[in-house]
Amino acid sequence: MRFLAAPVLVMAMAVPAAAEKLSLSALSQYLNGLRTATGAFTQINGDGSISTGTIYISRPGNIRFEYAPPDSTLVLAGAGSVAIFDPKSNTGPETYPLSRTPLSIILADQVNLERARMVRGHSYDGTATTVMAQDPDNPELGNIQLVFTDNPIQLRQWIINDDAGNSTTVVLGEMRTGTSIAARLFDIQREADRRARDR
């Protein structure tokens, strides 16, 4: 998968210092309260290049990555699936079950990082709290590292690590939360039909 295959690179973030490590309970509560969000993202790709774009999140279950030109790829999650639209392809999107990706952890209706064996790491570096989580019933699907800052709690970036040892880093810009996002933005079939008409 496109955003499940890139080496991990460390990206500096200019963020305010947090007072202490955030608890799993507080982070779960924050994620469960995050129903909609939009903002810019920066993605570090496998060849070392950087992609940028706009992200739309509508929990539960929906996320959209619109990549900025010249990269016109689109990644959608909706209705239990993840679809990757490659503008160079004439065969429609690559699709995967959302439940088979670590993104399902943060897009779940109720996030519970305190669930037994869910968290594989929970650390604090003096600035940010990092949580490594995976589905305890499907550890072969890889894991996701979530990086949070405090005052107020914000999700700043995530790193997805797949079972082959590949990783992708997504750094979030300022996010607008609580906004209204049209359901059609996460409609995979609608997007596939639109692209088929435009070909």
List the chain domain ranges. 2-194
Taking the C-alpha atoms of residue 128 and residue 123, their distance in angstroms, rounded to an integer, is 8
In the chain, the amino acid numbered 14 is A
In the chain, the percentage of residues whose pLDDT exceeds 90 is 67
Per-residue pLDDT, 47: 65
Tens of pLDDT along 9-27? 333 334 444 368 999 999 9
Closest CA to 67 of 50, 47, 90: 50
According to CATH, the superfamily of the domain at 2-194 is Lipoprotein localisation LolA/LolB/LppX (2.50.20.10)
